[in-house]
Each structure stands twice: as structure tokens, then as C-alpha cells.
Amino acid sequence: MPAEDAMIDLDTPGHGPVGAPISRHMPRPRVALGLAFAFAAGLGLGGWGVHRSEQARADRQRDATVVLVALPAGVGGGGVNSGGRARVEGSLAVVNAGPSPVTVRSVRADSPTVLVRDLGQTRLIRPGGTGWIGVVVLFPCGGTLGTEPLTVRFSVQTADGQVREAAYPVAVVGSVWADTLSRMCGPG
């Protein structure tokens, strides 16, 4: 064997000890494809998680929203007590203008002349639906109903299980309640 063959030149590629593999640090196609797939799957799951989180927050906000509209709807019995105060049992039509069902737990209104209280019954009202709430209206004969709407306050339980307060101005002047009260308090 000549001396030139036994010498290994380290500066030239491809010359090394016999049987030694050439090592190059190149990723294999399967590993690169697996990493790309894992990255894409992570992005997809992360996006889905963010979407679900935003949807849950929107659902909680929607369930907490209370929008009620109310107006005097009817009159039942009533009379005038010995103190000169007219008492009318009537109903209040309550429309749920919000996006979720609510349960009306109580109704009350106080002004210098008119007092309104519910009869102690709860009422579930679906979105877009109307519930009739039984109420008692007290009014001192000889007084005036006033010209401003009466602020009626509602205690409601929302779809998320929380109890919230809502208010709505109800016009008593010109309503069926006002007509009945004036007849009861009029000369008789």
C-alpha cells in the first residue's frame, strides 16, 4: 500500500475512515412534517378555545341583561277605606324586551300620592313575552295623580340565576287605574 493512500486529508469532503457514515444535521421529512402538523393543530385548538371563551362571555352578558316595559292593564275589585284612601286590585302588563327569560319576583312603586305593590306571586316571562302581574294600587282620595310617570321598580331573577333590579316609568294618568280611582273617589 503506498503511503499516499494511508494518509487522510481532513480538508477534503468525502474522505474519512472506511465505513464511517457522513453526518449531516438535516431534519428528516417526517419529523418536519410532524412538527408542522403539531403547530397547526395547536393553532386550531387555540383559536377554538378563544372562540368558546368569547362565546361564553357573550352568553353570560346576554343572560344578565334585563329590559322590561310595563303599563297598567286591568282593574279587578277595590274600594275606599275609612281613611279616604282608594284601593284597587289590578294588573300590570310587563313585557320582557330583553334577550333572555326573567322571573319577576316583586313589583313596587312609591310616590307622594300613589303606592303600588305586587300580590306576592312570581311570574316567568320569556323574551318578547308579556306577563300580567297582580298588584294593589293605593291612592288618597282628594289628591292628584300628578303628571309625571310613576317609576315602578322590579326585582327580577335573570337566566344566570342572579337577582337584579330594574325600573320603568309607568304613566298612571289616563290609564284604567286612574279612571277607576277617580270613580271611586268621586262624589257618590
Helices (H), 64-139: none
What distance in Å separates the CA atoms of residue 91 and residue 66, rounded to the nearest whole number? 21
Among residues 77, 136, 88, 87, the alpha carbon closest in space to that of 108 is found at 136
* Domain 68-185: assigned CATH number: 2.60.40
What distance in Å separates the CA atoms of residue 162 and residue 157, rounded to the nearest whole number? 5
- Residue 110 pLDDT: 86
Q: Mind listing the pLDDT tens digit of every residue in the chain (188 residues)?
A: 555 566 666 666 655 555 555 555 655 777 777 777 777 777 777 777 777 777 767 666 666 678 899 999 888 877 766 677 888 888 999 999 988 899 999 999 988 888 899 999 999 999 999 999 999 988 888 777 766 788 999 999 988 888 999 999 998 888 888 888 777 777 64
- Residue 122 pLDDT: 92
- Residue 128 pLDDT: 92
Burial of residue 88, with CB atoms counted within 10 A of its CB: 0-12 exposed, 13-18 middle, 19 or more buried: buried
- Residue 172 pLDDT: 84
Q: Rounded to two decimals, what is the model's pTM? A: 0.64
Round the CA-based radius of gyration of the chain to a whole number and report it. 39
Domain locations along the chain = 68-185
